[in-house]
Amino acid sequence: MAQIEFSVLDRGFVRLIDHMGSDLSVVNAARVSFGKRKEVFDDADAKLIDYLARHDHTSPFRHTALTFHVKAPIFVFRQWMKHRIASEFNEISGRYVEFPEDEFFIPGSFRRQAKVNKQGSEGVVDGPEGEQARELFLGACRNAVKQYKAMIALGVCREQARCVLPLGLYSEVYWTVSLQAAAHFIRLRTDSHAQWEIQQYARAVRQVVESVFPAGLKALLGEDTP
């Protein structure tokens, strides 16, 4: 299988490692009720996939799987890992490996707190305030990593030393998910109310899923199938 990968943010990526099934797998899972099976996907199958999605007959979409290798900041994974149904994660462990220096997310700009939406942001902190915010951000992250390295040098175990590291630190996971669960993640995390950073990952995930399950994903997202 040719590797499919998209760069995200400044150091992250979304990479397809493996997958099981295709749009044809979805319709064959549905047609087994009638003892039928097809070998070639056609327009009738696209219509059946659309019918299944529109009428919430979703079990056939779960006879599929995608495994991703994702590198993202920890604060992004905190949101991502709320998606647990038909979804499994394995993450790099700070108990086993020592995190490298300068492996934290650096925003291209800093957003202002939204006045109405308490959990969201709007506009940009620019000018001298923006420069100061960047200096504070970099200083805090670099100091945290410096202290982390110093504690390890003193003989402190990795599992305790990692406690000082920032939420902007990059981590890596393997994420295995069904087509239905992937569509649910994409629908929620590409929404304008989601945090901007995870929106970028959700868009990359969508591009990967579309390359494997084009009809199934469009149907689950409520879009017209090809």
Which residues are known catalytic residues? 189
DSSP letters spanning 81-146:
TT--TTEEEEE--TTTSPPPTT-B---SSEEEEPSS-TT-EEEEE-HHHHHHHHHHHHHHHHHHHH
How far is residue 50's CA from residue 215's CA, in Å, rounded to a whole number?
A: 8
Beta-bridge partner residues of 6: 14
Sheet holding 12-20, edge to edge: 4-8, 12-20, 65-73, 170-177, 87-91
